[in-house]
Structure 1
Amino acid sequence: MYHTWMRYFSPRPVHHRLGLVCLGVGLQYGALPTVGPRTLDHHVAVVISAGTGWYRTPDGTTLPVTAPALLWLLPGVPHHYAADPATGWDESFVDFTGSAVAAYTELGYIQPRRPVVPLTDTTAARAAVTRIARAAHHDNPLLEVETSAAVHELLVALRHARADGTTPADPVLRALARDAFLPLSVAQHAARHGMTPAELRDAVRRGAGCGPKDYLLGIRLGRAKELLAATDLPVAAVARRVGYTDPAYFSRLFTRRVGTAPVRYRQRRLRAVPGGWSHHVPDPEHPPVIASRSSA
């Protein structure tokens, strides 16, 4: 016995410009029928929350599947899988496509070479699938946009849940973020962690989908934007605060990455502020909140 529920969608061309579109969603459990061999023209994320089964690769290798786990079904790649007929499994799936798939793949959120990915938990991923399922009624005028947003959320949730020891909270990434504003080279950062530069590059790429330089640059430029927008510090002082001793080099980096020079960025931000201003830059870990007032 098994139980299944699914819906499929046909987004219009304008929705495809959102970057990701949802083509289908399903919730199933029990001793489900064997899938494949078959080939699709889009991506599918199959989330296994309970149970066991198997997945067969195109070369005939059979991989065991034990929940919690994720199956990646890729366009143009034959796949063949099934739940254990004796116990079955609990499965949810989302079909999707779009131009943003390439970026998510480059960043390591989608792993073409890992059709079976162990997970630590499926709660957040199932929540994203549930949002798609709840939006999936034919009279919902926001169907395509809601489900598109939920696919982005699903990919992030699956990245967080990956059981490979390189989550966004990886100790190496945390330490780099903590030390991002020190005027250190990548080699110096690596030495502080007892690693070679190559080992550090590999660790950061696995965890963040980019190299150490890009990871540090993103953090530094984010803080530089805050200082430019919320203080009257000279650009040279901002550069020093975020780890650059050469303000000209900092300005070139900022301009190339942000698309505008630091001074111009500040001018635009100041003009955009509609009211009062504070020169105090809050701790990003403890942002200001609006105090709630109890009614008299």
Structure 2
Amino acid sequence: MTQPADSEHDLATQILIELYSEIPPPSKLVTGHFHSGGDYRVVRPDGVGSWYLLYTAAGTGQFQIGGDSLTLGHGNLVLVSPGTEHDYGTVGTYWESWWAHFQPRREWHAWLSLPQAMPGLSYVRLPRASETDRVVSAFGRLHRDAQRAGLSPTGDTELNLLEKSVAVELTMNGIEEVLLTAVASLRHTTQHLDARVQLVLDAITADPARQHTLTSLAGLAQISVSRLAHLFKEQVGDSVMNVIVALRLQRAAELLGATDMSVAQIARAVGFESPHYFSRQFGRRFGMSPSSHRKAVRNPELELY
């Protein structure tokens, strides 16, 4: 709870913190473009349930986690993993930023292993004008698509189900372009994923429903279980099993929208032995039950994300 303000300036800061600290549901795809003044700050001690992509177009901002801080200027891109503490705001008088909360597509997990500046927060500095121009252009397009789909704070257009689905996919394509631009920017300064980690990531992405274990995957990579666990977490940013569960849940969400399979059938199809455990994990990831998600996808009056 924010303490009572002692001055008009403190009151303005308090209002902004409360306004912008509203937590989006884990399953909701949300985008935005902020021109923020000196009082802008977001505080979420427990983070959010989605990935958060933030790009600084102008001015200066700062992200803090624990006792560490990262100052953000023009061309800086950060990617914050689910559950990571949020405490960020304007430094000085002005900060222009583009941002998106999203759940990644299955094939994106290899791209989410950007260099970590702090636990749970990856950071890329885009040094070339061609890269910053491309990112701003991509954010502008994805934000307009999100507005059309009603996924941004200012979006109010009502579309039919097909139009909304197309707008959502175009929004995700824009996020994908931003991520790939960041990955491409690092090609001369960072190494690719360790070949053994890439082998494991390819295996679980190709068939997440398979009953993978750390032992079987370590055997595939021909390294010890402890070494695999360490390398994978270090380079991908999450544990092997968490990534497998995330891939299974993403596939389940696709099946819920595209088929008439029962929840129990889908649970088994994506690799969960217990439908109850599947439903609990699905609710934790997407903020709603599998049945509610199916209704939301198929009913144009409800939000897709």
Scaled by the length of structure 2, what TM-score is found?
0.46
Bigger proportion of residues as helix = 2
Scaled by the length of structure 1, what TM-score is found?
0.47
